[in-house]
Amino acid sequence: MRTGRLLLAAVLVSRGAVAGEAPHPELKVTLSPARAAQGGVVEVVATSPWPLASLVLVDGERRVPLAPDAGGSRFVGLYGVDFEAVPGERKLLLEGRDAAGVEVTGPALLRVVARRFVVQRLTVDPRFLEPPPEEKERIERDRQEFARAFASSGPDRLWSGRFAKPTEGTPGRNFGARRVYNGRTRSRHAGRDIASPSGTPVAAPSSGRVALAGDFYFSGGSVVLDHGQGLFTMYFHLLCLDVKEGDLVVAGQRIGAVGATGRATGPHLHWAARVLGARVDPAALLSLPRVP
Ligand SMILES: [Zn+2]
């Protein structure tokens, strides 16, 4: 067995040695879709001519590890297009390495397409626009807790099957909306609002781990689910929470109920998603291919 492994390593090293003279055997990369709107989610599939120990997708400063299928020559991952990403061509690179350290690369070209975003005019309690000084500390603590949660995702995919809508009601068309509060432009809306009566159950759209569960100044009763590999989904303004941080949840499991807590103008679910820091349309997750 030991000899067999050494032999295999020797073969891989010799492949690397000839690679200096012949062109590198390139990875075959498929982006679905290859044209993605701002806020879109892209499935990346890379296949290698031989098994690899690791594979990362390189996007400028970002390095996104992809997960291998059994066998180690096919890798799958998600790439998120932030809703404020600049439209145009985006050159991505896949860098793989086998057990002997031989590098395999493959380019991928993504076209980011501009998307139209609505403008929403809202009237809210002025204390949410200019929070009172005594709340500053709490708001900063909330911000740090969210940052800690978003840094907690591991390399394993925790979800399988398909993503489902988290509650009853039609998701609003307000993803990425420019928000004008009390007559002044304040922010962009990084999620979709689903109007539902207070108390309507909210369910996990797929399996994952509870990365954050608590009460926050702006988002009220909130749950952040980590689905692994940097994919997070979020549920804000909840009336009550049925999970706590660290819990593992399965698809369809109740995590809370629709409410109007935090900065909310009425009962609704604020539903949002992130893929490795990119703020994406949570509804884009519903059309991802089924994973085993
Ligand atoms: Zn919202």
> Is there a cis peptide before residue 33, judged by omega within 30 degrees of 0?
yes
Determine how many CB atoms are found less than 10 A away from the CB of residue 148: 11
For the stretch 171-183, pLDDT in tens is: 999 999 998 888 8
Q: Give the C-alpha separation, 192 to 234, whole Å.
A: 10
Q: Give the C-alpha separation, 207 to 157, whole Å.
A: 10
Distance (angstroms) between ligand 1 centre and the Cα of 193 equals 5
Distance (angstroms) between ligand 1 centre and the Cα of 83 equals 15
Distance (angstroms) between ligand 1 centre and the Cα of 235 equals 9
Distance (angstroms) between ligand 1 centre and the Cα of 21 equals 56
- Would you write out the chain's pLDDT as a tens digit for each of its 292 residues? 343 443 433 333 434 444 444 445 588 999 999 999 999 999 999 999 889 998 998 888 888 788 888 788 899 889 999 999 999 999 999 999 988 988 989 999 999 999 999 998 888 777 777 788 889 999 999 999 999 999 988 878 899 999 999 999 999 999 999 988 888 777 889 999 999 999 999 999 999 999 999 999 999 999 999 999 889 999 999 999 999 999 999 999 999 999 999 988 899 999 999 998 999 999 999 998 888 7
What is the H or E stretch that residue 46 is in?
strand 41-47
Distance (angstroms) between ligand 1 centre and the Cα of 177 equals 10
Q: Give the C-alpha separation, 50 to 7, whole Å.
A: 15
For the stretch 252-285, pLDDT in tens is: 999 999 999 998 889 999 999 999 899 999 999 9
- DSSP-assigned beta bridge partners for residue 181: 122, 184
- The torsion angles phi and psi of 252, rounded to 5 degrees, stand at 90, -10
Distance (angstroms) between ligand 1 centre and the Cα of 151 equals 22
CB 276 within 8 A of CB 264: no
- How many helices (H) and strands (E) the chain has is answered by 3, 21
Predicted TM-score (pTM) of the model is 0.86
Distance (angstroms) between ligand 1 centre and the Cα of 264 equals 8
Q: Give the C-alpha separation, 174 to 115, whole Å.
A: 12
Distance (angstroms) between ligand 1 centre and the Cα of 27 equals 40
